Amino acid sequence: MSVNDHEVKQYLHGLFTIKDLGAAKYFLGIKLARSPEGMLVTQSKYISDSVQDMGLVQAKAKNTPLPTLKLSSDTGDPLTDPSRCRRLVGGFFTRLDASYAVQHLSLFLQWPCQAHWDAAVHLVKYLKSCHSTRLFFSFNNVSRLTAFFDADWAGCPETRRSLTGFCIFLNNAPVS
């Protein structure tokens, strides 16, 4: 049995009051632009706003998401107000190119110190350099799955666990 959008909306409206606002244009700092060919996803406005809020408009952009230093939980005294660092790092969870940096910085968000804050600022400077990066999800029906994987062995100085990374594409659009 096929169910169309209208039937689903009617059913949900019967359970509780809903309001159809149409197709999403912004969601959690992500801009969604639709066309007949597919959907374009970008965080350029969110990144620009973050750069401006932090006063980094004139700062030099960085080429890498993280500085070369090794972060650990005993790097220094905890920040007096960790909420700013938490908000900053948590806002970039959707960027594939920054996913490792966000994950790594997230390890220290319970009690971030100055080195973690500096690394988060470095991440913002990196994102400033590539703020116009976009993802395009094609509506094409051809299905081609491609996967890439990489690992280093016992590379995390905190846990001595291996750090792994993977990227899975469906029709040239990243899905995981």
Sequence-ordered alpha helix ranges (H) in the chain = 5-15, 44-53, 83-90, 99-106, 114-129
3-state helix, strand, coil in the chain (%, to 5): 30, 20, 45
125: closest CA among 42, 41, 38, 67? Answer: 67
Mean pLDDT of 160-166: 76
User: For 3, phi and psi rounded to 5 degrees?
Assistant: -115, 130
Cα separation, 68 vs 6, in Å, equals: 52
Is the Cβ–Cβ distance between 47 and 104 less than 8 Å? Answer: no
Indicate the pLDDT class of residue 93, thresholds 50, 70 and 90: low
Q: What is the DSSP letter of 30?
A: E
Q: Are 47 and 57 in contact (CB under 8 A)?
A: no
Please give the model's pTM, rounded to 2 decimal places: 0.68
Secondary structure class of 114 (helix, strand, coil):
helix
What is residue 77's predicted lDDT score, i.e. its pLDDT?
82
User: What is the per-residue pLDDT across 50-84, written as a single tens digit (0 to 9) for each?
Assistant: 888 888 889 898 888 888 777 888 777 888 888 88
Instruction: Give me the count of residues in the chain.
Output: 176
CA gap 43, 46 in Å, rounded: 5
Question: Which strands sit side by side in the sheet containing 30-34, from one edge to the other?
Answer: 26-27, 30-34, 38-42, 134-138
Alpha-carbon span 13 to 96, nearest angstrom? 36
Most confident range, picked from 8-12, 69-73, 134-138, 171-175: 8-12
